[in-house]
Amino acid sequence: MGKLGFGDPSKSDLWKAVQTWRDDSETWIEAAESRLSETLRVNPLREDQEWVRGILHSLGGKPIDWLPEGGGGQGWVMPWPRGKWPSNDAKILLCGLHDSGRITRQEAVSMIPVKLLDCKAGHHVLDMCGAPGSKSTQLCEAIDDEGVVVANESNPGRANLLVSNSKRVGLTSMIIIRHDGRHLPRCPNPGFDRILVDAPCSGSGTTRKNPELWEKWTERAGRKLNPLQVALVRKGAMLLAPGGKMVYSTCSMDPIENEAVVAEILRTCEFLKLVETEIDEKCPGLISRDGMSTWPNPNQKNGEKERVSDGDEKVLLPPEETEIAAALPLCRRIWSDENDSGGFFVAAFKHVGGGEVAEALMPTSEMAERPVSEPPPPTKNHELPATSELLEAIFAEWGADYEKKFIRGSKIYTISDEIHDWFWAGERMLRRGGKLPGCHWHPFQVIQAGLPTWEIRKGILQRPTSKGMHITGEKLSSRVHEIDADLLKEILLKGGPEKEDAAETISTIGDESSGGIVLRFNHEGVMWWLPAWLGGRLTLMLPDCERTLLTYALGLEVGL
């Protein structure tokens, strides 16, 4: 530990705690300081994913055996520590792949919870603690971007990170909402098919990327967070549809934040059952340990009992109930020294209760008696359905035929069918009884739904956005022109040619009106859809990350 400048391990509260959590704690301390390798996952939604894997291989990357394809992307490890780039070209390429949404740089163990949820296309999924968005975007990949992932974050700044990541990956199935997760509104029936509660925690499993924990972590950290963690999981349980699955996870190794939370949920939610995580099937080769059934009394310090209420003490102590204690080994602990990874905890629940809807959505006699209410009127900040006139304008100019588009400000959004049919149009129950008809967002505070795919300026439709080109390009039948490699190289190296000069290579451009167009470039089996602007010159409208990758594909220096 001295090599990181954090003193003697024997004086660290975290080291003392680990000694009570593991009999063989010495093997953990030997690996708990070494820096993590750079890890990432490949976006399975992109058609050029094989090309991306080729780039990763060329940089020395290898697939992680226990993070196979399926369940939200294949995990990869690169041959260098996190942030310690072997060359500037490697940094430029990997950042270009990440910024363009083709990969997501993410700690390997952080990918495990989504793998265990076993999401399917069309599922309604809730990510209760979504920011910064690695798991939320992975959930959208796991449902093939066909369904809905409601990503919640209470902090406004962190919610903006969710928006940025959703756009980066190019997702149509994500709704970003901002609520205290303990008080989430009621969703449409029957509730969520899958729920992820990756709860705020003390992070004791993250020493390999957060070495400051050696000094900052205290034994009181888990005790303070336990009530919040229990409340979040309990709320998730209430919104889980019958037969649905919920995964609770933390990057903490403290049983107060893990098994104690699971025990309290089993104690208070009789309709939930702790089930096998199926970690050996979903993450083959990953080494994990059983959950703990006993742990030290956290209310004892230096042999004296601290002042806590009887109720608090019971929640923090190992369960006295034989059935609960016997179930806790179904939880799984992933230790950093056993997988060359960070540390993690996961537990899986299944709704085994009766009924046809989630517990929070159960109808009451009071609800039946109250009339259908009217939602509050929308504001200028709400995304609302695009008018038929706007959809007709897109078809007339670009040949793209749409039925479901939403608009806010200068952006037109593409949303998944399930966002529209279930979350937007679905009837929902009010917290105090009664019903609300569909076709609104209330009572959810929606920050963004779907992906902005078109731009409007001064009331006039301009062009498709670069972030949505992988979705929009194939729908276009007008204003699309084939371009060859020689002209593309010329544009990248020297800038766009005059319109007349471009028309000598792209004959269809000669009669094209000025404005936004799309260039189609097929290179070695990879289709590129390139937004451009045609005025006096032909100009590519590419973000830096796409320009970098196109430059690399054409065999030019990536630093250009």
Task: Name the fold adopted by 120-351.
Answer: Rossmann fold (3.40.50)
All CATH 3.30.70.1170 domain ranges of the chain, comma separated, are 2-108
What does the DSSP 8-state code read for residue 475?
G
The per-residue pLDDT for 166 is: 98
Q: Could you give the strand order of the β-sheet that contains 526-534, starting from the edge strand earlier in sequence?
A: 480-482, 515-523, 526-534, 538-540
All CATH 3.40.50.150 domain ranges of the chain, comma separated, are 120-351
CA angle centred on 492, ends 504 and 519, rounded to 5°: 55
Q: Is 251 a catalytic residue?
A: yes
The per-residue pLDDT for 432 is: 65
Q: Distance of CA 433 to CAs 81, 180, 271, 365, Å?
A: 54, 21, 22, 9
Q: How far apart are the first and last CA of the chain?
A: 42
The per-residue pLDDT for 460 is: 78
Question: Can you give the pTM of this predicted structure?
Answer: 0.95
The per-residue pLDDT for 310 is: 44
* Tokens read off for 46: 């992109």
| Coil, helix or strand at residue 202 | coil
CA distance 464 to 555: 27
Strand partners, 481: 519
Q: What dihedral angle (degrees, nearest 10) is formed by the CA atoms of 67, 72, 73, 75?
A: -30
The per-residue pLDDT for 304 is: 46
Run means of pLDDT, 10 residues per run, the chain, 560 residues: 53 90 89 91 97 98 97 96 94 97 98 98 98 97 98 95 97 98 95 98 94 90 95 98 98 98 97 98 98 87 48 83 98 96 97 93 66 78 93 93 93 97 89 80 95 88 90 96 96 94 93 93 95 94 96 85
CA distance 313 to 123: 38
Residues 6+ apart with CB under 8 A from 517: 463, 479, 480, 481, 509, 531, 532, 533, 534
Q: Is 511 left (phi over 0), alpha (psi -120 to 50) or beta?
A: alpha
The per-residue pLDDT for 4 is: 46
In CATH, the number for domain 2-108 is 3.30.70.1170
Which three-class secondary structure string do you get for 330-366? HCEEECHHHHCCCCEEEEEEEECCCCCCCHHHCCCHH
CA distance 71 to 111: 9
The per-residue pLDDT for 458 is: 77
What does the DSSP 8-state code read for residue 397?
H
Q: Is 457 exposed, middle or buried (0-12, 13-18, 19+ CB in 10 A)?
A: exposed
Which of 251, 283, 331, 545 is flagged as catalytic? 251
The per-residue pLDDT for 12 is: 86
Q: What is the DSSP string of 517-551?
A: EEEEEEETTEEEEEEEEESSBEEE---HHHHHHHH
